[in-house]
Chains A and B, each alone.
Chain A
Amino acid sequence: MYPFTFTKAATAREAIDAGRRGGRYIAGGTTLVDLMRETVERPEALVDIAALPLDEITVTGRGALRIGALARMAETAAHPQVRTRYPVISQALELSASAQLRNMATIGGNIMQRTRCTYFRDVSAACNKRRPGSGCAALQGINRSHAILGTSDQCVATHPSDVAVAFAALEATVHLLGPDGERTVAFADFLLQPGSTPDREHNLRPGELITAVEIPVHPRPLKSGYLKVRDRQSYEFALTSAAVALHLRGGVIREAKIAAGGVGTVPWKLPAVERHLIGQRPSDALWASAAALAADGARPLAHNRFKVELLKRTVERQLRIVGGTA
């Protein structure tokens, strides 16, 4: 671990001042400290934001759900408003990490967590994300867990978060506070695909702090759920996952919000699948034909070819679980 300074911010303003000067925000610390120990991350200054009043989970006047950036994963998953309105969020959180980690890690930190790519986490390996221009060892390496969507010839690392997949599906917005005040970014625009700059993972400006993630108002009732496919039954990142939310009226699907995890360099929204479902009546045939579109554009690597088929089946299964069959 490299030497670093550690300060606690008492107010958001203090945090942002320190952040603008290059300080890295730390809350639960479950990702950052690990990476510092592996010397993947070498921040010179840490700014502890855990004391800021950003942990509230509220329903806004218009009915949107606002999750404070410092709400713990466990608290969020257990929150009555989250559980009843968006089971997909609760399930995604409960299928993440371990109970101990969920008690520490925050929602803001969760969506900011960095890839589990083994070469990213091994400082002796080439990695464009960690050291731009050094190459991508995963491209021709051991890449079973890597992405098949949103990749580039510079990076094929998977975004590891589960709840971010639910946020992507539900078209959340990310609320930010920075030196120039507040702004709001659509979740789809918040995390960045690697392209030719895999070291740029999000569009936070210097000193900007995530204050909340907001789920917009969706028609009710909204049935939703999260399916995570992995080799062991707990405490593992997804090989594939699917977040599905459906609104049916009169036996017809009126709204479909769907995203996939474990397969993309960012949580992967599936608009073609959504479009295919709108106006249709649930049936096994519909789920199959919709899910067949899930892996469109996939570019598998030597060891993750199976994810193409697995992704389709994961989406199909979760459509059936959430939507039932006619």
Chain B
Amino acid sequence: MSPQPQDAVGAPLSRVDGRLKVTGQAAYAADHGTAHGIDGIVHAVVVTSSVGRGRITAIDASAAEAQSGVLKVLSHRNAPTLPYRPNPGSLNLPGERLHVFQDDEVRFHGQPVAAVIATTLEAAQHAAGLVRVDYDAEQPVTDLVGAPANEPPAAYARGDAEAAFNAAPVRLEMTYRLSRTHHNAMELHATVARWSGARVTVWEKTQWVQSTRDELAAVFGIPATDVRVISPFVGGAFGNAARCWPHTVIAALAAREVGRPVKLVLTRRQLYSGAGFRPAYEYKVRLGSDREGRLAAMTHDLRAETSRYERFSERGVLSPGQMLYTTPNVSQAYRTVPLDVNTPTPMRGPGYSTAAFPIESALDELAHELGIDPVQLRLRNEPESDQASGLPFSTRRLRECLNTGAREFGWNRRDPKPGRTRDGDWLLGTGVATAVYDTLRAPAQARARLNADGTALVESATSDMGPGTYTSMTQIAADALGLPVRQVTFRLGDTIMPPAPVHGGSLTMASIGSTVQDGCDKLRLQAIQLAVDDEKSPLHGAAPEDVVVRDGRLHLKDDSGRGETYRQLLTRNNRTHLEADGAYTPARPQASMYAYGAVFAEVAVDRRLGLVRVRRMLAVYDAGRIISPKLADSQAIGGMVGGISAALLEHTLTDPRDGRIANANLADYLVPVNADVPQLKAIYLDGRDEVADPIGVKGLGEVVLVGVAPAIANAVFHATGRRVRELPITIDALL
């Protein structure tokens, strides 16, 4: 623990970049232009395939090229060969990433087949519609059901699940389905690319500038040092801006071909095939227990979609089945099914939120079968240690989450029998589910600089897709340096900054937070050392460990009268600034580290019309230390809204005849509006996880989505007596 007073950490600060955002001064990728020194930008618009599989037989760009303002129409017919060097980093997957404009093959509907570059956006858009592409089309396969899988599956086993299941007094067997969903962040994917000589600078929407840098270097066969990626603001991503997608390569290629900076913004429709998605799943569960609800065996058979050119498997989808509840016998088989679709990618709460729906629904089904309260059933299967790794838990307070949640929610007021509580035409029900997500940490670096005017600048090449990295890192730095928040600036999103891991998987707070604290601790100690060594300092001769800094003033811990300010110290010593590098390298885990939550939902279902309305939700989280309570609430409420969306609304509809996504727009692909979002409340168990990382956090952004959909599904069952095993739950299923 830091010896410093924690004034900023734990304070409910508003976003430090809030004013920039609401006044339109925050520059997102597509905002970059002349005001940022990028002159002479031209525009690229992508032309996408209108067939789901096949070959391009002809491209007639003559009408497009004849349009005034059109500079070039790029396609595989005229694009230069790109090296596409192997790049095992950058979240590339087994298989081979899509190469843009390198051959005539169409692998999925909506694949980029050409790009029009023109001096105005309007000219490029219009000309893109004039490019005529002919195909030799084949029948694509886009439906997971019945399609052959990659073999062998990813598998896990302990004990003898088959025998234990067969011997169990209570046996349940269910198949659950989750539809394909898209991230649909508010900000569209956008790239501005500018070459100068052999070096390229890219202003990009990304959760990981280094990944994009390395991928562009590999694609173009140039050193990574010749690529700079800048991404100061991201307008939501949810995982979908972690990889470098084909449009980024197209923008860079187009800029090189026309010799001018190019801006490329995907349309909303193009987002559905231009970047990844959460794959559809078929998830078969078998569950055996004794009559008291103690689990004896659980088997999990999963099938999930992937593309034919890459094998995407979701990290974490098998974990809950292995460690969440005491289960002596487990077997799991996870198969990916190659389809004529683009490659899926992680989406908020990846894997864990997928697994939560079948597992938490199955537990609810068991509770109902046995007549045991669903909260009690979970408490009854609470493990003492991690049965998968054999490790002790760093901290696991799920029991407390469930009990606190039940109390605060008023859980025990429910009539356990489903379909019995009415309010006019509405049937009321309540449901509970557990949330779990592992605590990830990754190596990270930061640079901290203390200026003679008493301000500080801290930098790390991380990202802020919405959780408030700017703010939380400022809080950490402010406390470690003993400065007011307003004196500290945190910068991110540029490959010239010290390297950071992907801004995803809820690892940013733990990893960047720890490295920021490390750098700022070092910087503070440097200043203290300078003072205690300085004969002219009131602190001369003091033991460094006896000195703390508060409000920019160094003083003795036990005698606040003896001290001086950073400004006085640096000025007297003729120092313009002090600087220190922070680093964080996570230790090999000696414990099983997860964030947990218990999610409670109340729904109303119109008994005749089948409408489902969430009335209220409450969740209790064991996420370690909360650095920034206001932002934590923003995450938790956002996660619950995302969960409501997954439970009741989101569903990417693919036309099986040609692989066309039929609802590739925000009128037909539904996400909640304010009216769908009721009273949501999040509670955080007070505490910290000293094992997880130096700042005691366990990650929050993912776990808050996990468990929401099954809590709602379980509440729908309680309201109606109808078990819906497919997400989203819509009117059709409840009539």
Q: Which residues on A are within 8 Å of B, measured CB to CB?
A: 1-3, 39, 116, 118-119, 121-125, 137, 140-142, 144-145, 229, 231-237, 239, 306, 309-310, 313-314, 316-317
Contact B657 A140 (CB under 8 A): yes
A286 to B100, CA, bound (A): 64
User: What residues of A have a CB within 8 angstroms of the CB of B22 in the complex?
Assistant: none
Min CB–CB distance A57 → chain B (angstroms): 28
Q: Counting CB contacts under 8 A, is B30 at the interface?
A: no
From B177-185, B588-596, B659-667, give the one contacting chain A. Answer: B659-667
Min CB–CB distance A229 → chain B (angstroms): 6
- The one of B269, B660, B674, B731 in contact with A229, judged by C-beta atoms closer than 8 angstroms, is B731
User: What residues of A have a CB within 8 angstroms of the CB of B648 in the complex?
Assistant: 231-232
Contact A141 B126 (CB under 8 A): no
Contact B675 A232 (CB under 8 A): yes
Min CB–CB distance B735 → chain A (angstroms): 5
From B168-176, B238-246, B609-617, give the one contacting chain A. Answer: B609-617
Contact B613 A233 (CB under 8 A): yes
Contact A232 B673 (CB under 8 A): yes
Q: B668's closest neighbor in chain A, by CB?
A: A118
Min CB–CB distance B544 → chain A (angstroms): 59
- Given contacts A1-B125, A140-B657, A313 and B609 within 8 Å (CB-CB): yes
Q: A229's closest neighbor in chain B, by CB?
A: B609
Known: A144-B732, A235-B673. 5 other contacts (CB 8 A): A118-B663, A233-B613, A309-B735, A314-B609, A317-B609
Q: Counting CB contacts under 8 A, is B222 at the interface?
A: no
User: What residues of A have a CB within 8 angstroms of the CB of B653 in the complex?
Assistant: 142, 144
- The one of B610, B662, B670 in contact with A141, judged by C-beta atoms closer than 8 angstroms, is B662
User: What residues of A have a CB within 8 angstroms of the CB of B129 in the complex?
Assistant: 2, 39, 123
A111 to B665, CA, bound (A): 23
Contact B663 A234 (CB under 8 A): no
User: What residues of A have a CB within 8 angstroms of the CB of B664 in the complex?
Assistant: 122
Min CB–CB distance A192 → chain B (angstroms): 24
- Given contacts A1-B126, A309-B735, A310-B735, A232 and B663 within 8 Å (CB-CB): no
Min CB–CB distance A251 → chain B (angstroms): 24
- The one of B649, B655, B657, B660 in contact with A231, judged by C-beta atoms closer than 8 angstroms, is B649
User: What residues of A have a CB within 8 angstroms of the CB of B663 in the complex?
Assistant: 118, 142
User: What residues of A have a CB within 8 angstroms of the CB of B672 in the complex?
Assistant: 232
Contact A306 B731 (CB under 8 A): yes
Residues from 689 to 722 in B contacting A, C-beta threshold 8 Å? none
A141 to B667, CA, bound (A): 18
User: What residues of B have a CB within 8 angstroms of the CB of A231 in the complex?
Assistant: 648-649, 670, 730-731
Size bracket of the B interface: 20 to 34
A-B contacts, 5 of them at CB < 8 A, read A122-B269, A124-B660, A125-B660, A137-B655, A141-B655
Min CB–CB distance A13 → chain B (angstroms): 33
If over half of A's interface residues share one DSSP class (helix, strand or loop), that class is named, otherwise mixed; here it is loop
A306 to B269, CA, bound (A): 28
- Given contacts A142-B662, A231-B649, A232-B649, A310 and B731 within 8 Å (CB-CB): yes
User: What residues of B have a CB within 8 angstroms of the CB of A144 in the complex?
Assistant: 653, 732
- The one of A124, A140, A233, A316 in contact with B676, judged by C-beta atoms closer than 8 angstroms, is A233
- The one of A119, A121, A233, A310 in contact with B610, judged by C-beta atoms closer than 8 angstroms, is A310
Contact B122 A116 (CB under 8 A): no
Q: Counting CB contacts under 8 A, is B199 at the interface?
A: no
Q: A320's closest neighbor in chain B, by CB?
A: B425
Looking at B269, B613, B667, the one whose CB has the most chain A CB atoms below 10 A away is B667
Min CB–CB distance A56 → chain B (angstroms): 32
Q: Counting CB contacts under 8 A, is B608 at the interface?
A: yes
A229 to B730, CA, bound (A): 12
Q: B654's closest neighbor in chain A, by CB?
A: A142
User: What residues of B have a CB within 8 angstroms of the CB of A236 in the complex?
Assistant: 667, 670
A32 to B611, CA, bound (A): 32
Min CB–CB distance A226 → chain B (angstroms): 14
User: What residues of B have a CB within 8 angstroms of the CB of A234 in the complex?
Assistant: 673-676
- The one of A119, A124, A142, A306 in contact with B735, judged by C-beta atoms closer than 8 angstroms, is A306
Contact with A along B109-141 (1 / 0, CB 8 A): 000000000000010011001000000000000
Residues from 603 to 648 in B contacting A, C-beta threshold 8 Å? 608-611, 613, 648
A121 to B268, CA, bound (A): 14
Contact B655 A3 (CB under 8 A): no
Q: Counting CB contacts under 8 A, is B306 at the interface?
A: no
A231 to B611, CA, bound (A): 7
Contact B660 A122 (CB under 8 A): yes
Contact B662 A118 (CB under 8 A): yes
A144 to B663, CA, bound (A): 11
Contact A239 B731 (CB under 8 A): yes
User: What residues of B have a CB within 8 angstroms of the CB of A309 in the complex?
Assistant: 735
Q: A143's closest neighbor in chain B, by CB?
A: B662
Q: Counting CB contacts under 8 A, is B342 at the interface?
A: no
User: What residues of B have a CB within 8 angstroms of the CB of A142 in the complex?
Assistant: 653, 655, 662-663
User: What residues of B have a CB within 8 angstroms of the CB of A121 in the complex?
Assistant: 665
User: What residues of A have a CB within 8 angstroms of the CB of B126 in the complex?
Assistant: 1-3
A231 to B609, CA, bound (A): 11
Q: A123's closest neighbor in chain B, by CB?
A: B129
